[in-house]
């Protein structure tokens, strides 16, 4: 088997949460191009249908399962649906997330909890649900953010807390499951990529931050998807508990 063969995902089945837009869509398509069947999940059923169509255009197989990851029962149902439809589950990409930009002095308990319920606790419920179906060789990839590592000049306490929490969750699950169950658990901390969230930034903020990135540009969603494919594949078979920063150098300045 050659080096490039280690990056193929033929015969594998993946779940991608938050697959109704942005990086979730790119991830679903990238995994399909690498050979995986993909179960796409999110709260917007109509948008999931569009993602399924893109996966099928890429030559892959896909199933849409509308899911609210803040509900543990829904997470278990999603994992079970993947196994029932495709016969197995090998890869979980915890991409579902929401964000707020509320000053800490004014953020309400409901606003703070909603972000943690989806971004952090939702990832945990999904990992629990998927881990029960995975066998040796499984891969869980938690999508954190550079805002879990550094500040970005905007009040995002809930979002930053959740994304930092994902890094700790990644390390602990890797320690628990890699040796005992053969499930690798890693995280990706993306920098600035175009998304629905960046569309909501204050005027001029996005452009200002991009100008400070050493790479001189925003990320391409397929660059992000390629990192997911790598961590899901045998090419990353000796990587677990790690955080891969994909930010064009934003966290080094």
Neighbouring CB atoms inside 10 A of 208's CB total: 11
**Where is average pLDDT lowest: 103-107, 137-141, 201-205?**
201-205
Q: Are 67 and 41 in contact (CB under 8 A)?
A: yes
pLDDT at position 186:
98
**Stretch 37-51: mean pLDDT:** 96
| CA 102 – CA 115 distance, rounded (Å) | 12
Q: Is 159 a catalytic residue?
A: yes
Q: Which of 112, 124, 159, 206 is catalytic?
A: 159
Nearest in space to 55 (alpha carbons), one of 84, 70, 35: 35
Range of the domain at 101: 4-246
- Quick check: is 251 in a domain? no
pLDDT at position 240:
98
- Quick check: is 252 in a domain? no
Distances (CA, A) of 233 to 36, 43, 65, 74, 130: 10, 27, 24, 27, 17
**% of the chain exceeding 70 in pLDDT:** 97
| CA 150 – CA 34 distance, rounded (Å) | 32
Q: Is the pLDDT confidence value at 3 over 90?
A: yes
- Quick check: is 253 in a domain? no
Q: Is the pLDDT confidence value at 200 over 80?
A: no
- Quick check: is 55 in a domain? yes
pLDDT at position 42:
96
Which has more pLDDT, 18 or 197? 18
Give 44's Cβ-side CA count (13 Å radius): 11
Q: Are 109 and 169 in contact (CB under 8 A)?
A: no
Instruction: Give one DSSP letter per residue of 202-238, joined into a string.
Output: PTTHHHHHHHTSTTSSPPPHHHHHHHHHHHHSGGGTT
Rounded to the nearest integer, the mean pLDDT of the chain is 94
| CA 126 – CA 72 distance, rounded (Å) | 7
Query: Residue 198: which pLDDT band, with cuts at 50, 70 and 90?
Result: low
For the chain, how many structural domains are there in total?
A: 1
- Quick check: is 97 in a domain? yes
Q: Is the pLDDT confidence value at 195 over 80?
A: no
- Quick check: is 210 in a domain? yes
CATH code at position 68: 3.40.50.720
Q: Which residue has the tokens 């200002």?
A: 208
pLDDT at position 20:
93
């Amino acid at each position: 088997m050659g080096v490039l063969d280690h990056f193929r995902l033929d015969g594998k089945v993946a779940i991608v949460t938050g697959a109704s837009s942005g990086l979730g869509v790119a991830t679903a398509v990238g995994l399909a191009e690498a050979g995986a069947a993909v179960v796409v999940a999110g709260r917007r059923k109509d948008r999931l249908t569009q993602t399924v169509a893109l996966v099928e255009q890429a030559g892959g197989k896909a199933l849409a399962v509308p899911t609210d990851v803040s509900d543990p029962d829904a997470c278990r149902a999603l994992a079970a649906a993947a196994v029932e439809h495709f016969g197995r589950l090998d890869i979980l990409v915890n991409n579902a997330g929401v964000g707020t930009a509320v000053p800490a002095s004014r953020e309400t308990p409901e606003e703070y909890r909603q972000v943690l319920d989806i971004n952090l606790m939702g990832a945990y419920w999904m990992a629990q649900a998927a881990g029960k179906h995975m066998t040796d060789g499984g891969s869980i990839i938690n999508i954190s953010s550079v805002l879990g590592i550094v500040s970005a000049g905007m009040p995002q306490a809930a979002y930053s807390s959740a994304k930092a929490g994902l890094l700790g969750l990644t390390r602990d699950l890797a320690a628990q499951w890699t040796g005992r169950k053969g499930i690798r658990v890693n995280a990706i901390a993306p920098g600035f990529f175009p998304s629905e969230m960046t569309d909501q930034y204050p005027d001029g903020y996005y452009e200002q931050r991009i100008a400070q990135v050493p790479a001189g540009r925003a990320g391409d969603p397929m660059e992000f998807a390629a990192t997911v494919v790598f961590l899901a594949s045998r090419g990353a078979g000796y990587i677990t508990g790690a955080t891969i920063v994909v930010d064009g150098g934003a966290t080094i300045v």
